Amino acid sequence: MLPCALAGPVLEKRRRLEGRKKELAGQFKESMMVLASSLSAGYSIENALAASVEELAMLFGNEGMIVREFAFMVQQIRTNRSVERVLEDFAKRSGLEDVQNFAEVFSVAKRSSGDLGGIMRHTAEIIRDKMQVREEILTMTASRQFEQKVMNMIPFFIVFYVESASPGFFGQMYGSGLGRVLMSICLAMYLVSYILAKKILEIEV
């Protein structure tokens, strides 16, 4: 089990990163609506970004991820960096496909004098629809995910129960060289099945 223990921190870090991405995606959707409103009111994109920081802070707090990102972007723009480059950097830091797509579309629209407000509203609608589909998928697969977690724990419960009820029953399996090899193979097969089950239930939108 030592390799599993060593992999634990890596898996936990990945899980937290995915959670932060989902949270940032939700906040990014709201920021697009705020930006679209500012642009519709006649603000330039630079001033719209600055004005959006205060509104987003009211929604998510001063420590909200999107608030800190927008504040950082405003600071960069004030040092004469272009909005396109600032958005590209934000897309790279976020790791979100939606932000990357928006940055590319914004760059084209800015050069062609397109309707930036309409683009941002459309981006927010697309993100909202994707989040709704994702939530529906999670609802539909919630029972299967619970079953998966139960099935993942059953082999360990069986081993603990049998060993508690009949001490030494697994002596040959864990006390001899051949037994350890066989049980290591079983553990590897268990890990493969765990990864496959997790991949099957991870439906990307």
Q: Provide the percentage of residues in the chain whose pLDDT is more than 90.
A: 6
Q: Is residue 4 part of a domain?
A: no
Q: Is residue 6 part of a domain?
A: no
Same domain, yes or no: 146 and 118: no
Q: Is residue 61 part of a domain?
A: yes
What is the C-alpha to C-alpha distance for residues 21 and 198, in angstroms, rounded to an integer?
Answer: 19
Same domain, yes or no: 113 and 143: no
Q: Is residue 177 part of a domain?
A: yes
Q: What is the mean pLDDT of residues 70-89?
A: 90
Same domain, yes or no: 129 and 140: no
Same domain, yes or no: 124 and 156: no
Q: Is residue 119 part of a domain?
A: yes
Q: What is the mean pLDDT of residues 89-116?
A: 81
Cβ partners under 8 Å of residue 194, min gap 6: 152
Listed residues 109, 134, 159: the one ending a domain: 134
> In the prediction, which pLDDT does 72 show?
92
Q: What is the mean pLDDT of residues 77-89?
A: 89
pLDDT 10s digits, 5-40: 777 788 788 888 888 888 888 888 888 888 888 877
Domain that holds residue 98: 12-134
CB neighbours (10 Å) of residue 1?
6
> In the prediction, which pLDDT does 153 show?
86
> In the prediction, which pLDDT does 14 show?
82
What band does 106 get if pLDDT is binned at 50, 70 and 90? confident
Same domain, yes or no: 36 and 84: yes
Distinct helix (H) and strand (E) counts, the chain: 8, 0
> In the prediction, which pLDDT does 204 show?
67
> In the prediction, which pLDDT does 196 show?
86
Same domain, yes or no: 76 and 107: yes
Q: What is the mean pLDDT of residues 144-173?
A: 82
DSSP of 76-113, one letter per residue? HHHTT--HHHHHHHHHHHH--HHHHHHHHHHHHHHHTT
> In the prediction, which pLDDT does 100 show?
86
What is the C-alpha to C-alpha distance for residues 203 and 22, in angstroms, rounded to an integer?
Answer: 14
Q: Is residue 1 part of a domain?
A: no
Same domain, yes or no: 127 and 157: no
Q: Is residue 5 part of a domain?
A: no
> In the prediction, which pLDDT does 75 show?
92
> In the prediction, which pLDDT does 1 show?
63
Say yes or no to pLDDT of 3 above 80: no
Say yes or no to pLDDT of 200 above 70: yes
Segments of 25-153 assigned E as strands? none
Provide the number of structural domains found in the chain.
Answer: 2
Contacts 24+ apart (CB under 8 A), 51-55: none
Listed residues 106, 134, 162: the one ending a domain: 134
Q: Is residue 3 part of a domain?
A: no
Same domain, yes or no: 101 and 149: no
Same domain, yes or no: 25 and 115: yes
Q: What is the mean pLDDT of residues 186-192?
A: 86
Q: Provide the percentage of residues in the chain whose pLDDT is more than 70.
A: 95
Same domain, yes or no: 173 and 126: no
Listed residues 101, 116, 134: the one ending a domain: 134
Say yes or no to pLDDT of 52 above 80: yes
